Chain A
Amino acid sequence: LAKTTQPISMDSYEGQEVNITCSHNNIATNDYITWYQQFPSQGPRFIIQGYKTKVTNEVASLFIPADRKSSTLSLPRVSLSDTAVYYCLVGDTGFQKLVFGTGTRLLVSP
């Protein structure tokens, strides 16, 4: 499983766009990039997944450059309720175990 590196914490204000970058230099050809969100005392929640270029859903966008050695989760116009820990995971498709790192703790202030 490819190792991931992401900032420990980030601060933002309501209404701003937040970009969280994850490095995964050893990503394998078959690996996908997946982001999860976790609120305090709750289980992780799937946000978005991608393989290359850009993926967008109703919650976020995921930007993946051509070399796939990094990825950026973009949260448009954050609100206080987006305060959470965001995890970047890299792995093959299928139903293997998820390996969580320490994640990025995002704090959104008024």
Chain B
Amino acid sequence: EPEVTQTPSHQVTQMGQEVILRCVPISNHLYFYWYRQILGQKVEFLVSFYNNEISEKSEIFDDQFSVERPDGSNFTLKIRSTKLEDSAMYFCASGDPSRGTNYGYTFGSGTRLTVV
């Protein structure tokens, strides 16, 4: 079964540093998302990306966040100046329009970001 691959699985960074979280979505998917989950809390939507641009973003996704699809396979989330409260699991997801509805959502295993 095709997978969404995320790297690294765990990243520790110092407050104020920039981090880039990487995702390789399923190859024929066209919709891409980032979600995050702070320990013990809900899974929260950050941003959706389609046709090489952001289609929707949440209040969490402020100016310190950016997304990019630099080539045909990778989808990245950059956090410019990390804060302690950015510590969370970050999940990438992708969607397949040919399957329609929410069948198309496949999540990766996540990157655990720890800001110290």
Q: Interface of A with B (CB < 8 Å)?
A: 32, 34, 38, 41-46, 49, 87, 89, 91, 93-103
Contact = CB atoms under 8 A, between A and B. Distances in A.
25 contacts: A34-B101, A41-B112, A43-B4, A43-B91, A43-B93, A43-B108, A43-B109, A44-B43, A44-B91, A46-B102, A49-B103, A87-B43, A91-B102, A95-B31, A95-B50, A97-B45, A97-B56, A98-B35, A98-B43, A98-B45, A98-B102, A98-B105, A100-B42, A101-B42, A103-B42
Interface in B54-77: 56, 58
Nearest to A42: B109
Contacts, number: 63
Chain B interface size, as a band, is 20 to 34
Given A46-B103, A46-B105, A97-B58, 11 more contacts: A34-B101, A42-B107, A43-B35, A43-B91, A43-B107, A46-B106, A93-B101, A93-B102, A97-B33, A98-B35, A101-B42
